[in-house]
Structure 1
């Protein structure tokens, strides 16, 4: 009996909450009772009942409407600038302007194809770097194309976003963050205990050909599919080369990148 290990060290708070709640949906109370792991499932469910609303409250403070609106505005400004110079670099009738647009488009491309999709802090830093290039090395090209005000507008939006984001971070309650970290650790610990008990009981059930052996196999298959999907998703999001862990190899740490 094998259950694939979730890569918790790469799961952000939202990933962890959603994953464990999904596991509880797979291992329902009724199934847990039949498989004789109901008390450990109940302990994990109780922890998650407290963890979920606390995480949602913290997440809500992170994604205030004002911050979200500023992010949408800077995304639109950046994408508009990028599409404009890209189009001019290919189609502008004036050769000098076409070449200037090409230099700007080429420089922007070095920062990746989807800057606007990066995480908040990473996007902010990347836009600062792009704007610096446009104001220094490519200032002449920007002026020639009449894009000085556009670049200034993008810079203002990025500055405003960063200021609001930093203020939001400062306003987050240290006590609340500490509580979330504590509940995360507790949830991971209880999850591991439930997982190991499930594996142990499932192994015995199959070896002894017990009546609930088929249900153990069904739940294990669903659980593994769910874990594989989450692991693949977080690995894509972090562009990590870490290999998918083998079943039963617990190397989780209490870290978070959100």
Structure 2
């Protein structure tokens, strides 16, 4: 594996870093290959309970590399980028996109495939597909309205306007905004709260929420009962530890 997307593990937490800072982490096929390989490895790695995806240097990512687009990049298969992000989205452990600086267009599509988007004060979000006569094919049309509502999604997509972190928080595009000076520490603190709880529950709850998203209430309640995954292997140990306090 190369170094376009790096991995660092730390006591149950995996840091994946988009590592093309000289190009503002502009996304290429090779970067997606490495991201996909890391995600596939994480499916098999039970030592990791939470993943943070961030960018090296000045920003999360400026988006899809326009040079790659202009040169007619060789994609392994139709829909391959979207499939890669879907693999990340369905990873049976929480994924956090830690966004500082630019998060534009393709980069926003990547961030939207995470469970949470946590922003630094410097974060700026935009969907600029319409500026270049492009349309989204990595999931923007499905994930953005699920986060912010269809009217706000249309506004972002049609105007291509840049949204700063505080406005992103107000509209529900991100879950929290932290100071740039403490951003990585705040990301880790958030992830550690997740890691305190059961990985069994996290995986089961991700599957439950995924399966019932947009269902009518009765259908979702029926799924929760009939497809319930029961209790985790760590339940007894967790209860015993609590009772001893």
* TM-score relative to the length of structure 1: 0.18
Q: State the structure with more CA Rg.
A: 1
Determine which structure has greater relative contact order: mean sequence separation of CA pairs < 8 Å that are 6+ residues apart, divided by chain length: 1
Q: Which has the higher strand share?
A: 2
- TM-score between the two structures when normalised by the length of structure 2: 0.19
